[in-house]
Structure 1
Amino acid sequence: MKALEATKAMRAAVCGMAAAVCGVPAAHAADAPAGATLAKIRETGTISIGHRTSSIPFSFYDGSQKVVGFSQDICDKVIAEAGRRAGVASLQVHMVPVTSQNRISLVQNGTVDLECGVTTNLKARQQQVAFSTTFFVAGTRLLVKKGSPVQDFGDLSGKAVVTNAGTTSERILRRLNDEKKANIAIQSAKDYGESFLILQSGRVAAFMMDDVLLSGVKTTAPAPADWTVVGTPQSFEAYGFMMRKDDPEFKKLVDGVITGLMKSGEIRVMYDKWFNKPIPPKNVSFEFPMSAAVRKAYEQPSDEAFE
């Protein structure tokens, strides 16, 4: 019995250290048992949300360092419903920045209860985490300087290209190199801001990523009109929120909120706010009309992966 208590104490100490590193309470750093997310929220009065720092217009910091965006607006609706369902009147929200490299592990180990960013729902990832109903569909393309000789993926042979580490785009580029013997020099950056800085520096010929994110990052340039998105989409990406596996109660809550926004039409109002009107940080409009793929996702809600 004493040995068991000692083991529990050691586990608690490890979790406490993990929380100190992550900057969130120990209860959020420990692995949560199956089906325990709402119980955890009820017990602690808190929910931990994973967000991105520069994924315009989905999840990013505004001028006041507040997390805003299309994903965050949807996420706020989920947070409100989670608080209501858990019976917590004043739910505390811990915002945890995540990257392409660590987002899955932070969901798995309980540091993050719900990741509200720009993560593609893939069958391989479903072995590790659960995904919500798809809330956006993007195509992987290229961002280049206007007038660039690179207009499609066939023009990348022998050139340098940057993308974000740990993304579908990185995997596609490596596959292109292997299959086409294209001799593409692939550079991997930590996030969208760093990738775009590398492109602007002239060290690479193109930045490959989801078209909507490329449209977003170019609005941060001193002269956004100097940059253009080109190329035939190499894949279509279904974005969903990530949460821990084996918690059907919490997934049902998240899916219900997102599907409800689609059925009521409110998600279209949110879309118009972030994609067709001026937004932070530069008060520039995306002018990114809703695609047929996105319309279909809203008319026929699904959590199916495209691959």
Structure 2
Amino acid sequence: MRLTRVTAPLVVAATVALGLGACSSVAPTPLPKAAPSASVTAGKAPTAQSCTNAVQSYAPDGALPAPSGIPSASTMGKIKARGRLIAGVSADTRLLGSRNPLLGRIEGFDIDLVQQIADAILGPNAKVELRVITAADRLPVLQNHQVDVVVRNMTITCDRWKTIAFSAEYYRAGQKILIRKGSTITGLASLAGKRVCAPTGTSSLDNLVRLAPKAIAVPATTHTECLVNLQQGKVEAITGDDTVLAGLASQDPYAVVLSEKAFTAEPYGVGIAADQVDLVKFVNTVLENDRTSGDWTTSYNTWLAPELGKGTGQPAPSYGRPTP
């Protein structure tokens, strides 16, 4: 399962809108609700659990099975029978998940992980259906079983654990601020009275309101819309994860990410429906394999290292969440 390609191939039946405007949600055909895994009582949603450690996930059951050894009744078996993995992703978050205008396909760090999960279930160069969603769509598409996974720079939080499940942390980002060169904004403390953009449905917007209550929060559909607002002078700054802001800055020579230390920790996880614990455990095994095979490092070096530097490597997993 070693990642030898620069971008993830074989994006089939991608339900996306063409062009830079592909950030808007495309309403996919709802999937039939998958049968719960063996670890979940049939017909019942998992019981809500107290959350004191958001990044704690379900421990893998063992070594990663070969695709031929996946039980047909499992969530992975149903994906295998369908013949493709369906993933909710971004198409305009450069470096993580964005459309390559020359090749016409979505690529990036998050997309590599989608392909790795698909390959583990279906075999090498597995078919993947990428459904472009907004940040606000991430929870509903999982709750409605419209996708198998969401890999869209989603921060793991206790509040989100109330409605969906997460894999172990696969990347640790941090929230920062992007400005136009020459701006008087120097950091979080100087945002009072400034119009600051962040996408609806993100922890970035929540953190802005909480940490800079005197700033004027300007919601947008996506960070790309925020960048357009900044370029048109409608806002004076954008806030978001350093990974996302680095992608925006790489597209605009007049935009710069402030060098102050990140003011939040943003652990990314793969979002999965709450009643598909077997798939969560499977994805965690894929992440364990990525660590030993070097696939995570290869993908990081391809996409994020040129903008963010060497980094601290793949986060260590935290297990121990009791199976519902």
Q: Do both proteins adopt the same fold according to a TM-score greater than 0.5, normalized to the shorter chain?
A: yes
The structure showing larger relative contact order (alpha-carbon pairs under 8 Å, at least 6 residues apart) is: 2
Equivalent residue for 1:115? Answer: 150
User: Cα offset for 1:177?
Assistant: 4.7
What is the aligned-residue identity percentage? 25
- Note the alpha carbon deviations across 1:136-168, whole angstroms, 9 max, x for none: 111111001122110111111111111111111
Q: Does 1:74 align with 2:113?
A: yes
Stretches of structure 1 that go unaligned for 5 or more consecutive residues are 1-20, 277-285
Q: Which amino acid aligns with 2:106?
A: V
Distance 2:175 2:28 in 1: 34
Aligned pairs, number: 258
- Note the alpha carbon deviations across 1:261-287, whole angstroms, 9 max, x for none: 1122221121111123xxxxxxxxx43
Equivalent residue for 1:201? Answer: 232
| 8 Å contact kept, 1:82–1:253 | no
Distance 1:113 1:120 in 2: 18
| 8 Å contact kept, 2:119–2:125 | no
Q: Does 1:291 align with 2:311?
A: yes
Distance 1:266 1:38 in 2: 21
SS in 2 for 1:207: strand
User: Cα offset for 1:132?
Assistant: 1.3
User: Cα offset for 1:123?
Assistant: 1.1
CA gap of 1:303–1:288, structure 2 versus 1, over 3 A, is farther
| 8 Å contact kept, 1:132–1:303 | no
Q: Does 1:249 align with 2:260?
A: no
Distance 1:194 1:61 in 2: 16
Q: Which has the larger radius of gyration?
A: 1
User: Cα offset for 1:296?
Assistant: 6.3
| 8 Å contact kept, 1:22–1:111 | no
Trace 1:1-307 onto structure 2 (pairs within 5 A): 22-24=27-29, 29-35=31-37, 36-63=74-101, 64-84=103-123, 92-178=127-213, 182=214, 184-221=215-252, 224=253, 226-230=254-258, 231-276=260-305, 286-292=306-312, 295=313, 297=315, 300-302=316-318
TM-score (norm 2): 0.74
CA gap of 1:296–1:60, structure 2 versus 1, over 3 A, is closer
**Cα RMSD, aligned residues only:** 2.2
Q: Which amino acid aligns with 1:227?
A: A
Query: Per residue, is there more helix in 1 or in 2?
Result: 1
SS in 2 for 1:102: helix
Q: Which amino acid aligns with 1:201?
A: Q
- Note the alpha carbon deviations across 1:216-260, whole angstroms, 9 max, x for none: 112122xx2x22111442211001111111323211221111121
SS in 1 for 2:78: helix
CA gap of 1:304–1:201, structure 2 versus 1, over 3 A, is farther
TM-score (norm 1): 0.78
Distance 1:194 1:130 in 2: 29
